[in-house]
Amino acid sequence: MNDINGILLVYKEPGPTSFAVVDKLKKLSGANKAGHTGTLDPMAKGLLVVCFGRATKTIRFMASNKEYETVMQLGVATDTLDKTGKPLKELPYKHITRSAVEKVLPAFRGRIQQVPPMFSALKKDGKRLYELARQGKTIERAAREVEISSLEMTGFDLPYVYLKIACSGGTYIRSLCDDIGRALGCGGVMHQLTRTRIGDYKLSAAVKLGELKTKEDVIKRLLPIEINKPQKNTELYCL
C-alpha cells in the first residue's frame, strides 16, 4: 500500500502531548512516517502542523515564524514558568498598572536573547532538559537569539495580562512571560497559551482530532507538500 504524503493542520486541545497527537494520527492513517514542526506544551492548545510521508523531509523548509495568544498571570513564579509548575514564590502585584506593562514591553520586541527553560524538549548529552528537571537537576543553558516581531497587550485584568505575539521559531512563550514578570518586579507565569499561526498556516483552517475517525478523514484534509526557503530555528519531530 502506498504511503500517504502531505500536511495536516490539527487543532490540539489542552491535555495531550504533541507526540501523542502525532502518534494517534500515524496509527489512524497507517502512515509509515509522521512528524510535527514544533511542540506545543500539554497545557497549550492551538495549531499543530503534522506531516506525513515525504512531507517529513520537506517540512523543514517551511517558514518558522509563529503567532501566539497568551494569558500571563502576575504575582507568582513556578519551576516550569507556567501555571502547572511548583510555586516558588508569590509577590505583590496589585500595584501593577496597564501603563506599567506597556512601558516594559518594548524591551522584548525585536531581536532579543532568551534562555531556554529547564522544562523544555531541548537535549543535553542525549537527555531532554525536562527529564533532568524532573530529577531535580538544573544545568546552565546558553542564551539564544530569537526575534519578537510583534508583541501587543490585548487585555488587562489583574492578575492577568493578555498578549498577542508573533515570533521566530524556537521562542519560548513561558520564558517571555517569566522575563516580563521579572521586568515588572512581581513575577509572572504563562497561564494559557494558544498557537494561532505557523508560517502561512492558520489555526482557522485546522481540524479537531475528534473529527478524524478514519484514514479517509485524514487523507481528505491533507494539504500538498510545499518547499520554501530554509528558516532558522525550524524544528522537526518525527515518529
Catalytic residues, by residue number, are 41
Between CA 23 and CA 29, with CA 25 as vertex, the angle to 5 degrees is 120
Q: Where are the beta strands (DSSP E) in the chain?
A: 6-12, 34-36, 45-52, 66-74, 76-78, 87-90, 110-114, 123-124, 127-128, 144-157, 160-167, 188-198, 201-202, 207-208, 237-238
Single-letter amino acid, residue 38: G
Measured CA to CA in angstroms, residue 5 lies from 8, 32, 57 at distances of 10, 10, 11
59 φ/ψ angles, rounded to the nearest 5 degrees: -65, -25
